[in-house]
């Protein structure tokens, strides 16, 4: 902590400092008092127990003082939090899309990036959209977090105040690869940002192949890499047209990865599981992908060889 | 009272009832035997869940896959949570010590409905077995977390339904136990025991019982709604079916926050019995402790929203729930001051029960203050759903309720089994346990503040130091647990014979032989004084 890189960090950190200071004083004080009591009034020293039963005065004191302290804690928390709900009118608008298990940041006009790239010292409002289950967008360095819930228009906003790279994490459990649902916030100076933005615009104007878009939008590439690396499922690189050893029922057979194999693997994943991988992790996409979609995917996979 | 030395005394363990052998246990309606049945089941399930916890800690010793894959890990934290929360933490104190000692402490022969009590136990057992089975059959261990958040829990292909049914059945067991205790406390107090002459452990059970009866039905209905959603595709919560996922969170926490008080209130009650006995002094501020229990039970209903500060609830409801969360902290603080003052000026005998009770205060304070951190809106944004929360609730639930349970075990063991455990071994086990506990959970506060989310199978390299220390702590803690349980098990037959009153306590359980007879009292006692009167001095007669 105390490496806050946004306008909201101070309010949050002040709350921590206040509560932790009070906590430290009380925990150390009461613990020391208990140790003193146990030693000083030890039965071994032959102490007679004094038979008093209470004191209204003390009860009032230790009701009122904690009440005042917790109200101060509440106040610090509230004051630090209030600005988080007041978005400046001139804030840049970006939509963060959460899906199992990747983040995507929509800059409008079909410009979607897997990283959140922003200019320094400019307020930004991030609208939060989920395409499947609950997620939560968390950028520890900026002290921002808000759940990404399907059907809800949640948002958060902040002004990044330092140039640098910061982690983005998902903090609402969202299934198998919850802990891999990571991204980065890259804060650039205005000139670098403008360059990045223009490059990005030109890149987006060249359309991505349909097959790729289908893989990305259905979350396939969270488990099946396109570059040969082994994730939860086998990589899609070098798949098409090659032979695969699969477990089908109780026996191992070798099959050729043709269009029929790909269709079967998408509609009924557990019927043939590539050896070295586990059953039961992938659901059927029968209701989500049409046969024509799978043809486009197969066409795209050919280009990966 | 009378026949301790006469030799005519038959302990409840030797009592000849309608049935013999194993049936005398399985069909017993004796509240003490039912308490022990719960105790044995809970110890078994506790070790199952604790071993899952250790396995998770081993997995987290390094980033990436160490000993298990993500699906296994996700199933493990779910089952760990379900077993710990629904099978152990919620029922343990009322069902074990409540059953065993509530009737004795109020001078009754049994609870109001002994057969219902046995029925609650079997519901508990069926629910518990369902919960554990969900790990092994069909589609694999449920992987939703114990919170069952929709839409994921509506879509996961694992055994979510078994786990939901388990929690539903366990809920019923909890409701019936609560009902039984409320009636017992209202109707069966010994003659002369007015409400304000009742010891404070029964008072804490009374506050708890009302939460069990009033709040648990809500979770029952909510879990049924999730089942209906999964099976019949009725859109209550899943937006894909037109439902509202945040509604689920509201309904879930309307029960599950008060449930935190079901867990901790009886624990507070137990240590409230222990401090006066080992200080030979009346409880300081009897009325204040009693009222704070009731205040916690009441205000505790209205703070559930603090689990949802980042869920997109309105600005107004965020500060409202935050405000009430801070209010509910005050009664807990009052209790801590009163416990400490109970010891002050006493004649203190630092035996294992007191050692556990004092460490309860220490751990509970850390858990409490970090709870305030989570209740403050600005700080919550940073630490919500991180390892900080994991550390916080383990300090409250394990450090609070768990240590209170251990305190209670060490306090009442001689009464329950008629034998003494080894004090020396108990002290060593405490030292290991207490050290291990802090080494295990404290680093999680630090990495949580740095941004380590919870329920993460894998993590970024900067969090590794904290995780490694924590895993080492898990092994120390587990060693302490084994040693503690060994001390109990070994001495159950071999320990020195326990006298009726080994700690010089003054509440009713210490006035009868160890172990008690089948009906506890030969003659129902008549109560003429306040519950915590030590010595013969007259000054303590006024309140």
- Residues of A with CB below 8 A from B381's CB? 12, 81, 84, 143-145
- What letter would DSSP give residue A232? S
pLDDT at A119: 94
- The answer to whether B379 contacts A136, with C-beta atoms less than 8 Å apart, is no
Find the closest chain B residue to A16 by CA distance.
Answer: B379
Q: In this predicted structure, what is the pLDDT of residue B2?
A: 39
Closest to A77 (Cβ–Cβ): which among B348, B350, B376?
B376
- Asked whether residue A144 falls in the same domain as residue A99, the answer is yes
Topology given in CATH for the domain delimited by B28-541? Cytochrome C Oxidase; Chain A (1.20.210)
> For helices B403-417 and B423-450, what crossing angle results, to 10°?
160
User: Is the confidence at residue A124, as pLDDT, over 90?
Assistant: yes
C-alpha distances out from residue A62 to A32, A34, B332, B333, Å: 18, 17, 11, 8
Tell me the mean pLDDT in the region A267-288. Answer: 80
Domain span including residue A267: 210-302
Structure-token pair, residue B194: 């007015």
Structure-token pair, residue B276:
């006066």
Quickly tell me which residue has 């951190």 as its tokens: B373
| Residue predicted with more confidence, A191 or A271 | A191
Are A103 and A199 found together in one domain? Answer: yes
**Cβ contact, residue pair B286, A54, below 8 Å:** yes
List helix spans (H) across B134-199. 152-155, 160-187
**β-sheet bridge partners, residue A187:** A118, A164
Q: Which of B362, B344, B356 is nearest to B285 (CA)?
A: B344
Find chain B residues with C-beta within 8 A of A85's C-beta: 315
Judged by CB atoms closer than 8 Å, whether chains meet at B152 and A232 is answered as no
Of B326, B338, B386, the CB nearest to A71: B326
Hey, what are B522's tokens?
């030969």
Phi, psi for A141 (deg, rounded to 5): -65, -25
Residue A29 CB burial class (10 angstroms; 0-12, 13-18, ≥19): exposed
Predicted model pTM: 0.88
Residue B117 has a pLDDT of 93
Contact criterion met (CB below 8 Å) for B430 and B356: yes
Contact A1 B239 (CB under 8 A): no
Q: Is the peptide bond before A101 cis (omega within 30 degrees of 0)?
A: yes
Note the pLDDT tens digit of each residue in B237-248.
988 888 899 999
| Count of residues in chain A | 305
Structure tokens that stand for B535 in this block: 């010595």
- Is residue A70 located within the same domain as residue A120? no
Give the residues across from A96 on adjacent strands: A105, A128
Q: What percent of the residues of chain B are helix, what percent strand, and what percent coil, each to the nearest 5? A: 70, 0, 30
Residue A191 forms part of a structural domain:
yes
Test the A interface: residue of B238, B341, B381 with most A CBs within 10 Å? B381
Whether residue A127 is found in the same domain as residue A152: yes
Structure confidence by residue, pLDDT tens digits, B376-387: 999 999 999 999
ipTM: 0.89
Alpha carbon B218 to its chain centroid, in Å, reads 20
A49, A83, A117 - which closes a domain:
A83
Question: From CA B307, how far away is CA B326, in angstroms rounded?
Answer: 14
In a domain, A4, yes or no: no
Phi, psi angle pair for A136, to nearest 5°: -150, 125
Quote the pLDDT of residue B8.
Answer: 64
pLDDT of residue B541: 39
Question: What distances in angstroms separate CA B187 from CA B113, B180, B194, B198, B529, one per listed residue?
Answer: 11, 11, 11, 13, 19
Q: Which two tokens stand for residue B160?
A: 């979510």
Q: CB–CB of A146/A156 below 8 Å?
A: yes
Q: Taking CB atoms and an 8 Å cutoff, what residues of chain B touch A134?
A: 149, 151-152, 245
- Using CB atoms, pick whichever of B279, B284, B330 lies closest to residue A66: B330
What residues does A246 pair with on adjacent strands? A253, A274
Contact B281, B360 (CB under 8 A): no
Identify the pLDDT of residue A193.
92
What is residue B9's three-state secondary structure?
coil
E strand or H helix at A156, and its extent?
strand A154-158
In a domain, A269, yes or no: yes
* Partner residue facing A51 (CB), from B144, B282, B340: B282
Does residue A3 lie within any of the structural domains? no
Q: Last residue of a domain, which of A60, A83, A106?
A: A83
Domain count for chain A? 3
If asked whether residues A222 and A284 sit together in one domain, one would say yes
The CB-based long-range contact list for A221-230 (8 Å cut-off, 24+ gap) reads A221/A102, A222/A100, A222/A101, A222/A102, A222/A177, A222/A180, A222/A181, A223/A176, A223/A177, A223/A281, A223/A282, A226/A304
The answer to whether A169 and A182 have CB atoms below 8 angstroms apart is yes
Q: How far apart are CA A40 and CA A178, in angstroms?
A: 53
For A40, the 3-state DSSP assignment is: helix
Last residue within a domain, chosen from A205, A234, A253: A205
Report the SS3 class of residue B379: helix
Q: How confident is the model at residue A2 (pLDDT cuts 50, 70, 90)?
A: low
Q: How many CB pairs under 8 A join A and B?
A: 279
Euclidean distance between CA atoms B40 and B37, whole angstroms: 5
CATH number (domain holding residue A173):
2.60.40.420
Q: Do B310 and A136 touch (CB under 8 A)?
A: yes
Token pair for A252 = 């191992």
- Quick one: which H or E segment has residue B131? helix B114-133
The tens digit of pLDDT for each residue in A181-230 reads: 999 999 999 999 999 988 888 877 677 778 888 888 787 887 888 877 77
CA B216 to chain CA centroid, Å, is 15
Instruction: Print pLDDT tens along chain B (543 aa).
Output: 434 444 567 888 887 777 777 888 888 889 999 999 999 999 999 999 999 999 999 999 988 888 888 888 998 999 999 999 999 999 999 999 999 999 999 999 999 999 999 999 999 999 999 888 887 777 788 888 899 898 888 888 788 888 889 999 999 999 999 999 999 999 999 999 999 999 999 999 999 999 999 999 999 999 999 989 888 988 899 888 888 999 999 999 999 999 999 899 999 999 999 999 999 999 999 999 999 999 998 998 899 999 999 998 999 999 999 999 999 999 999 999 999 999 999 999 999 999 999 999 999 999 999 999 999 999 999 999 999 999 999 999 999 999 999 999 999 999 999 999 999 999 999 999 999 999 999 999 999 999 999 999 989 999 999 999 999 999 999 999 999 999 999 999 999 999 999 998 999 999 998 899 888 888 888 888 888 888 754 444 333
Which residue from B minimizes the CA distance to A10? Answer: B378
CB contacts of A23 in chain B (<8 Å) are 365-366, 369-370, 372-373
**Are residues B378 and A147, on separate chains, in Cβ contact within 8 Å?**
no
Is the separation of the CB atoms in B111 and B184 below 8 Å? yes
Contacts of B521 (CB under 8 A, 6+ apart): B1, B107, B109, B512
What residue of A is the nearest CA neighbor of B323?
A74
Nearest one of B450, B454, B314, B455 to A16, comparing CA atoms: B450
**Closest by Cα among B295, B378, B373 to B332:** B295
- Show Cβ contacts of residue B316 under 8 Å, excluding neighbours closer than 6 positions: none
Q: What is the pLDDT of residue A73?
A: 94
Phi/psi of residue A2, each to 5°?
Answer: 60, 30
Yes or no, beta carbons of B451 and A167 under 8 Å apart: yes
One domain for residues A148 and A63: no
Interface-testing mutation among A4, A138, A147, with chain B (most B C-beta atoms within 10 A): A147
Contact A231, A223 (CB under 8 A): yes
Task: Choose among A20, A171, A280: nearest Cβ to B453.
Answer: A171
Give the end-to-end CA distance of chain A in Å, rounded to a whole number.
Answer: 46
Q: Show residues of chain B in contact with A154, CB under 8 Å.
A: 312
Quote the CA–CA distance of A288 and B513 in Å, as a whole number: 70
Q: What is the pLDDT of residues B332-378, one digit of tens each?
A: 999 999 999 999 999 999 999 999 999 999 999 999 999 999 999 99
Instruction: Evaluate whether residue A1 is within a structural domain.
Output: no
Could you give the CA distance from residue A108 to residue A93 in angstroms, rounded to a whole number? 9
Neighbour tally for A291: CB within 10 Å: 10
**Tokens encoding B31:** 């509240």
Give the distance from residue A224's alpha carbon to the nearest chain B alpha carbon, in angstroms.
Answer: 15
Q: Specify the pLDDT at position A286.
A: 80
Q: Under an 8 A CB cutoff, do B372 and A173 touch?
A: no
Which of B506, B520, B441, B514 lies closest to B476, judged by CA? B441
**Mean pLDDT, all residues of chain A:** 88
Long-range contacts of B291-294 (CB under 8 A, 24+ apart): B291/B331, B292/B331, B292/B332, B292/B334, B292/B335, B293/B200, B293/B203, B293/B204, B293/B207, B293/B265, B293/B268, B293/B269, B293/B331, B294/B207
Q: Do A47 and B347 touch (CB under 8 A)?
A: yes
Contact: B326, A70; criterion CB under 8 Å: yes
**What CA–CA distances, in Å, run from A200 to A56, A113, A185, A204, B435?**
70, 9, 16, 6, 54
- By the 8 A CB rule, do A214 and A147 touch? no
pLDDT digits (tens, 9 = 90+) for A45-54: 887 888 888 8
DSSP string spanning B230-278?
Answer: HHH---SS-GGGT--HHHHHHHHHHHHHHHHHHHHHHHHHHHHHHHHHH
Give contacts of A278 with chain B, Cβ < 8 Å.
Answer: 69, 71
Q: Which single residue is written with the structure tokens 């967008």?
A: A137
Other CB atoms within 10 A of residue A30 CB: 18
Has residue A2 been placed in a domain? no
Nearest neighbour of B340 by CB, restricted to A33, A146, A167: A33
Where helices occur in chain A by DSSP H, the ranges are: 9-40, 56-81, 190-205, 210-217, 259-267, 291-302
**Same domain membership, residue A186 and residue A113:** yes
What is residue B401's DSSP assignment? I
Q: How many CB atoms lie within 10 A of CB A252?
A: 10
The reply to whether A295 falls in a domain is: yes
State the smallest CA–CA distance between residue B359 and chain A in angstroms: 9
Closest CA relative to residue B221, chosen from B181, B201, B248:
B248
User: Parallel, antiparallel, or unpaired: how do β-strands A144-148 and A116-119 relate?
Assistant: unpaired
Chain B residue numbers touching A26 (CB-CB < 8 A): 365, 369
Q: How far is A27 from chain B (nearest CA, A)?
A: 6
């Amino acid at each position: 902590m105390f490496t806050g890189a946004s306008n909201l960090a101070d309010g949050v950190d002040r709350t921590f400092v206040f509560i932790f200071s009070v906590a430290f004083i009380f925990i150390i004080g009461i613990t020391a008092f208990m140790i003193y009591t146990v030693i000083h009034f030890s039965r071994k020293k032959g102490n007679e127990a004094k038979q008093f039963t209470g004191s209204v005065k003390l009860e009032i004191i230790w009701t009122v003082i904690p009440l005042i302290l917790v109200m101060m804690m509440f106040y610090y928390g509230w004051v630090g939090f209030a600005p988080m709900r007041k978005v400046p009118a001139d804030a840049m608008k970006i939509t963060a899309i959460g899906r199992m298990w990747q983040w995507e940041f929509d800059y409008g006009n079909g410009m979607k990036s897997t990283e959140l790239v922003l200019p320094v010292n400019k307020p930004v409002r991030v609208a939060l959209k989920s395409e499947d289950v609950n997620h939560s967008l968390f950028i520890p360095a900026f002290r921002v977090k808000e759940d990404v819930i399907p059907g809800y228009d949640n948002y958060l906003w902040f002004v990044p105040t330092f140039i640098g790279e910061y982690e983005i994490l998902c903090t609402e459990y969202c299934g198998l690869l919850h802990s891999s649902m990571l991204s980065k916030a890259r804060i650039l100076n205005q000139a670098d940002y403008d360059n990045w933005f223009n490059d990005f615009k030109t890149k987006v104007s060249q359309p991505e192949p349909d097959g790729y878009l289908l893989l990305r939008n259905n979350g396939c590439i969270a488990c099946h890499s396109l570059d040969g690396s082994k994730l939860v499922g086998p990589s899609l690189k070098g798949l098409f047209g090659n032979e695969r050893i699969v477990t089908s029922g109780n026996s191992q057979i070798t099959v050729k990865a043709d269009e029929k194999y790909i269709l079967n693997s998408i509609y009924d994943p557990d019927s043939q599981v590539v050896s070295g991988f586990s059953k039961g992790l992938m659901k059927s996409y029968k209701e989500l992908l049409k046969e024509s979609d799978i043809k486009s995917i197969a066409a795209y996979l050919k280009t990966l060889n | 009272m009378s026949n301790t030395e006469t030799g005519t005394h038959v302990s409840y363990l030797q009592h000849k009832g309608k049935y013999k052998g194993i049936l005398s246990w399985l069909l017993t309606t004796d509240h003490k035997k039912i308490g022990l049945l719960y105790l044995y089941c809970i110890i078994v399930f506790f070790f199952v869940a604790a071993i899952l916890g250790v396995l998770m800690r081993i997995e987290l010793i390094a980033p990436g896959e160490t000993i298990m894959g993500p699906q296994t890990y996700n199933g493990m934290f779910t089952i760990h949570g379900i077993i710990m929360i629904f099978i152990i933490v919620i029922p343990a104190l009322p069902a074990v010590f409540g059953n065993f000692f509530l009737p004795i402490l109020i001078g009754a022969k049994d609870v109001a409905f002994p057969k219902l009590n046995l029925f609650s136990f079997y519901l508990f057992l069926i629910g518990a077995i369902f919960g554990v089975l969900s790990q092994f059959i069909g589609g694999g261990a449920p992987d939703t977390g114990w919170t069952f958040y929709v839409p994921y829990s509506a879509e996961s292909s694992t055994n979510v339904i078994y786990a939901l049914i388990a929690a539903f059945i366990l809920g019923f067991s909890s409701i019936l136990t609560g009902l039984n205790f409320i009636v017992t406390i209202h109707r069966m107090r010994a003659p002369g025991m007015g409400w304000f002459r009742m010891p404070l452990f029964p008072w804490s059970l009374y506050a708890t019982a009302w939460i069990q009866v009033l709040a648990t039905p809500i979770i029952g209905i909510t879990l049924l709604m999730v089942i209906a959603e999964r099976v019949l595709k009725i859109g209550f919560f899943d937006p894909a079916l037109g439902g509202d996922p945040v509604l689920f969170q509201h309904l879930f926490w309307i029960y599950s926050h008060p449930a935190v008080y079901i867990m901790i209130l009886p624990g507070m009650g137990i240590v409230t019995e222990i401090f006066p006995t080992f200080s030979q002094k009346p409880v300081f501020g009897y009325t204040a402790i009693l009222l704070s229990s009731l205040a916690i039970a009441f205000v505790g209903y209205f703070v559930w929203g603090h689990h949802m500060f980042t869920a997109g609830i309105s600005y107004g409801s965020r500060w409202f729930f935050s405000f009430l969360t801070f209010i509910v902290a005050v009664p807990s603080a009052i209790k801590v001051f009163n416990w400490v003052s109970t010891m002050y000026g006493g004649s203190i005998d630092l035996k294992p029960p007191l050692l556990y009770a004092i460490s309860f205060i220490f751990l509970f304070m850390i858990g409490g203050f970090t709870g305030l951190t989570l209740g403050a809106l600005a700080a919550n944004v940073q630490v919500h759903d991180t390892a900080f929360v994991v550390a916080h609730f383990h300090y409250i639930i394990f450090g609070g309720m768990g240590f209170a349970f251990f305190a209670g075990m060490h306090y009442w063991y001689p009464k329950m089994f008629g034998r003494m455990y080894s004090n020396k071994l108990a002290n060593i086990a405490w030292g290991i346990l207490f050290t291990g506990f802090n080494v295990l959970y404290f680093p999680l506060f630090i990495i949580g503040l740095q941004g380590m989310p919870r329920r993460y199978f894998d993590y970024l390299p900067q969090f590794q130091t904290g995780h490694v220390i924590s895993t080492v702590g898990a092994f120390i803690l587990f060693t302490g647990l084994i040693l503690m349980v060994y001390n109990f098990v070994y001495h159950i037959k071999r320990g020195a014979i326990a006298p009726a009153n080994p700690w010089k306590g003054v509440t009713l359980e210490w006035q009868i032989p160890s172990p008690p007879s089948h009906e506890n009292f030969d003659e129902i006692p008549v109560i003429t004084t306040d519950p915590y009167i030590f010595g013969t001095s007259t000054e303590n007669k006024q309140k």
